[in-house]
Structure 1
Amino acid sequence: MQDHFKVASQVFDIPSSGKQKKAAIIVAVIIMIISTIALPHGMRSLPEIDPFLSASTAWLIFGDLLTSYIVYSQYRASGLPCLLVLSCTYLYTGLMTTMHIVTFPGLLKNMLQFGPESQTAVWLWAFWHGGFAIGILLYIFTKVRWSKPLETVEQIFNLGTAGIVITLLTVFGMLELAMASGDLLPGIIHNGDYRKLNTSGIGPVIWILNLLALIAMGYRTKGQTVLNLWLTVAVLALLTDITLTLFAGTRFTLGWYLAKVNSAFAATVVIISALSEVNRLFIRLSEQHRQLVESGRQLEQVNEKLTQLTNLDGLTEIPNRRRFDEILAWEMVCPEERLTSLSLLIIDVDCFKSYNDHYGHQGGDQVLKMIAQTIYNGVKGIHGFAARYGGEEFVVVLSDCDAGETRQVAEMIRKAVAGLAIKHEVSIFASHVTISIGGYCLAPKDPMDQQDLIRRADHCLYKAKDAGRNQSVVQGWSRNTTAGIIRSLDRPS
């Protein structure tokens, strides 16, 4: 079960590399430098740009909700409760941001009436930023105290449903509380000036909560995984957002605008890191797939070469005895289904031992190569199969030939070898190298076994040798007669 979860949540389980930690540090330093430089000028008033506020807030809402969805998907796959807490935290901030922009004074004039003195938006801002810090602290607490995944799908579904329901109830409760701020909560903004956030102690409490969340993230997680590394950067960005907002004191100042930018970054940095890791994994997977395909192609080539080496005779480079046995066995399987005749020729080089003794083994090997290629090329055109049987013997398998036609093929081979005119000074039969051939033709559907066919062809070979060599003897089935013997009439002079 746990192995399944580990694979399923692999995007957020990936350990952060040295390069990623350096990148996170660089981003954090840039945020700190820009915020520190802007801080003394944070109260400088800038033009009211409603499209900027709408666009940045929409981006923030989009980032929060999408992050919530991605993290929740990982929770369903892994069953880790801490991911549910983190998902609900981003869901909370996304919904609270939505409520904040809806209640922002004058932004949606035609839809809702929230005047410039409305306290709702600023209280929602306080609940939003304070709630995010509390959510991060709960995430760390759950990660430490409840590190084991849930066991069953039902448990995952039930806890997930409960988490979402609690989050929605919390959001609507905070909205009701903020909208009733005139009666239940003190006023903290007047004429766009919310510096009372600081003097009332609410702002410092929110700032301290986020600082504690940042310290807890750094101390407990140490950025060991991609998720925790960039989540730490997100908490830092939100802390600078709060710092700039509290220091700016009023809306539409430099600090206020820059705070919105930091908020948007905090909402999307986790998504960006997740997508970056997914893309990196995809690139790695694609490269591994390419390597696998290339390895497969090389393996096929090696297997093909191995098959060739296994099936070919090393000296003559034509099929070997092993391949011949396979072909003949395949041809003779299920004789009742074999509708054509099957012929076997066994060929022997005459007086080859004396040739070897006189001309040497290298000369003998060269003769075997020449004869093998002559036989192989001779029967290839009629779809015959030729192989080296062993030593100076060769075999030919023919299909759909009767004894007479088999004898014609044998004679064609014999004459082709004689036509090579290879000098053989010590032969007692001819002045050149000759061959003797014995063959047997099996009738269609004949149930004769493989060994019996070889014995009959070999018997004919001995007849050819006994009759003086340099000739062929073929027995077996004929279309005109059921059996017979056909000898070559071409005798050496």
Structure 2
Amino acid sequence: MKGTKWMNRREKYVTQLLNIPASLRQKKIAWAAALFIFLATVAVLPFGTRMLPEVKPFLPMFVSWFIFGDLMTSYLLFIQYRASKSIPQLVLACSYLFTGFIIIPHILTFPGVFSDTGLIGAGDQSAVWLWVFWHGGFPAGVMLYLLSDVFFTKSIKPQMIFRFGVYGVGITVAVLATIYVLVTLGNDLLPRIIQKGNYRILITSGVGPVVWLLNLLALFLMIRIHKARDVLNLWLTVAVFASLLDVTLTLFAGERYSLGWYVARVNSLVATTAVIFSISYEINRLYVRLADQQDQLVDSQARLTRVNDQLMLLSSLDGLTGIANRRHFDERLLQELELAGIRKSPLSLLMLDVDHFKAYNDYYGHLGGDAVLQRVAQSIHSAVELVGGMVARYGGEEFAVILPGKDHREALNMAEQIRRMVEGQHIPHAASKGSPWITISVGGYTMDRDESRTEMTANLMITLADQALYQAKEGGRNRTMVNDILVAV
């Protein structure tokens, strides 16, 4: 039940880094890193008190990386907080903000780095107390993060993101300011836990063991509650473990610049590096996945465009003959009428009908009729295509041809050319009452450039062309008529 409850909480932030499940490979790497620093710590413990030379550049380099690492981790977590609207991520971001900033007064007050006694009002206990607040504050922040994960299971409202962010940063800065005042102005009021660089009093005073126990408790709770299920908490567990070993070595070494002290600082670097590397790695993986998804999306859009083009083409074509269908014809005629009006150019329309087609269908069957319609359609198309016209199947055995820019004489010539092409194929028609071959009748109408266009509509133009077709058929079929000009065989 507990595992299910934990997963239900996580589903609320399903797209965030906090939710990326830790793979077996990632767990192996994390546990290998933890094992390495543990073995290194155990190996150093017998020699931890051995004094080493004071390396002047060590602390500035250590501090520079620590500040960069923790502040960058805090920044990345703040970004995640804004995206997920998750209070626990805000708490964790503020925890790293705290550790990133507290190291600054720690190094400035550290004796022997920038001055013999330290800067910014440092007392002889300031640096060590800042170390205490630093190494006690980090596990305290982690435990506060775990506590907030229990009580704040829902995302906050978008309009509250900035306000809560300001509260979090403000409280963090206020705590840092209070600590700074306490360890500088109140230096003499604090218990003495170091003497001439020796940490022994830190242990005997009980302050050191309290810091150690805080880290141990934070580690226990991390393992107990999250069990390293996701990437962020997996590496946060490693960071807390490294912090625990850091405190252990520091207390055991007992003095600054001892072997244990140096290795403890290295453990601190592991603690600050683990989480930022894990977040950066996962952000990179997310970016790669997004890039792959973008490529897939572009490819899908291209395929979709091709499919849509094919669908548009298919929706505008007649399924039997492969030429334009009635819907596409209606759209094109309206467009050409509008263009003809703008350009003051002629526009011709031909209506064509296969002669005695019902008799052909009855005699040769529907398959034979379909084959004839296909051959007639292709004959018309091959002739019309050369002059920029369009042919469409108007219905049944009837076809329509739009001839933009063609006057009535050009339309009549085209009609005759088509009629002769169809007849010239010598498609047998044994059931015909006229020609022994398949023939067509053509009627047409031309709207000349000088004709008044105010009352001309697509329906009227079709009616006029249809009337001419009717007259051609009444006149004996296998003939053409355009604008009252009849051409007979």
- TM-score w.r.t. length of structure 1: 0.84
> 1:89 matched to which residue of 2?
95
Which residue type is aligned with residue 462 of structure 1?
Y
> 2:224 matched to which residue of 1?
219
Aligned-pair CA distance for 1:30: 3.0
> 2:389 matched to which residue of 1?
384
Which residue type is aligned with residue 380 of structure 1?
E
1:136-172 C-alpha deviation (Å, 9 max, x unpaired):
3333334434555665547426623541342232331
Question: Would the alpha carbon gap of residues 10 and 417 (structure 1) be closer, same or farther in structure 2, given more than 3 Å must change?
Answer: closer
> 1:239 matched to which residue of 2?
244
Q: Which moved more, 1:326-335 or 1:89-98?
A: 326-335
Structure 1 segment 160-309 matched on structure 2, within 5 A? 160=168, 162-176=170-184, 180=187, 184-186=190-192, 188-190=194-196, 192-309=197-314
Tell me if 1:38 matches 2:38.
no
Give the 3-state SS of the residue equivalent to 2:199 in structure 1.
Answer: coil
Q: Is the 8 A contact 2:193 2:199 kept in 1?
A: no
- Percent sequence identity is 46
> 1:465 matched to which residue of 2?
473
Aligned-pair CA distance for 1:239: 0.4
Whole-angstrom CA distance in 2 between matches of 1:446 and 1:95: 81
Whole-angstrom CA distance in 2 between matches of 1:110 and 1:421: 115
Give the 3-state SS of the residue equivalent to 1:469 in structure 2.
Answer: coil
Which residue type is aligned with residue 328 of structure 1?
L
Whole-angstrom CA distance in 1 between matches of 2:254 and 2:314: 85
Q: Which moved more, 1:357-366 or 1:27-36?
A: 357-366
Q: Is the 8 A contact 1:13 1:225 kept in 2?
A: yes
Q: Which moved more, 1:11-20 or 1:428-437?
A: 11-20
> 1:488 matched to which residue of 2?
487
Whole-angstrom CA distance in 2 between matches of 1:344 and 1:7: 65
Aligned-pair CA distance for 1:439: 1.0
Structure 1 segment 94-113 matched on structure 2, within 5 A? 94-109=100-115
Aligned-pair CA distance for 1:227: 3.4
Instruction: List gaps (5 residues or longer) in structure 1.
Output: 1-5, 476-484
Question: Would the alpha carbon gap of residues 320 and 111 (structure 1) be closer, same or farther in structure 2, given more than 3 Å must change?
Answer: farther
Which residue type is aligned with residue 130 of structure 1?
G
Q: Is the 8 A contact 1:11 1:277 kept in 2?
A: no
Which of 44, 65, 71 in structure 1 is aligned with 2:71? 65
Give the 3-state SS of the residue equivalent to 2:110 in structure 1.
Answer: coil
Which of 392, 396, 403 in structure 2 is aligned with 1:398? 403
Question: Would the alpha carbon gap of residues 423 and 446 (structure 1) be closer, same or farther in structure 2, given more than 3 Å must change?
Answer: farther
Q: Is the 8 A contact 1:439 1:457 kept in 2?
A: yes
Question: Would the alpha carbon gap of residues 38 and 124 (structure 1) be closer, same or farther in structure 2, given more than 3 Å must change?
Answer: same
> 2:4 matched to which residue of 1?
none
Whole-angstrom CA distance in 2 between matches of 1:9 and 1:427: 75
Question: Would the alpha carbon gap of residues 171 and 90 (structure 1) be closer, same or farther in structure 2, given more than 3 Å must change?
Answer: farther
- Number of equivalenced pairs: 472
Aligned-pair CA distance for 1:60: 0.8
Aligned-pair CA distance for 1:472: 0.5
Aligned-pair CA distance for 1:302: 1.9
> 1:480 matched to which residue of 2?
none
Structure 1 segment 126-137 matched on structure 2, within 5 A? 126-137=132-143
Give the 3-state SS of the residue equivalent to 2:434 in structure 1.
Answer: coil
Instruction: List gaps (5 residues or longer) in structure 2.
Output: 1-10
Whole-angstrom CA distance in 1 between matches of 2:81 and 2:12: 12
Aligned-pair CA distance for 1:303: 1.8
Structure 1 segment 131-146 matched on structure 2, within 5 A? 131-145=137-151
Aligned-pair CA distance for 1:350: 2.4
Whole-angstrom CA distance in 2 between matches of 1:72 and 1:387: 64
1:169-188 C-alpha deviation (Å, 9 max, x unpaired):
2331243168x35x743252
Whole-angstrom CA distance in 2 between matches of 1:365 and 1:135: 82
Q: Which moved more, 1:95-104 or 1:82-91?
A: 82-91
> 1:374 matched to which residue of 2?
379
Aligned-pair CA distance for 1:333: 6.0
Aligned-pair CA distance for 1:23: 4.1
Aligned-pair CA distance for 1:294: 2.1
Q: Is the 8 A contact 1:91 1:167 kept in 2?
A: no
- TM-score w.r.t. length of structure 2: 0.85
Q: Which moved more, 1:221-230 or 1:404-413?
A: 221-230
> 2:6 matched to which residue of 1?
none
Give the 3-state SS of the residue equivalent to 1:50 in structure 2.
Answer: coil
Tell me if 1:420 matches 2:428.
no
Whole-angstrom CA distance in 2 between matches of 1:321 and 1:199: 98
Root mean square deviation, CA, Å: 3.3
Whole-angstrom CA distance in 1 between matches of 2:371 and 2:111: 102
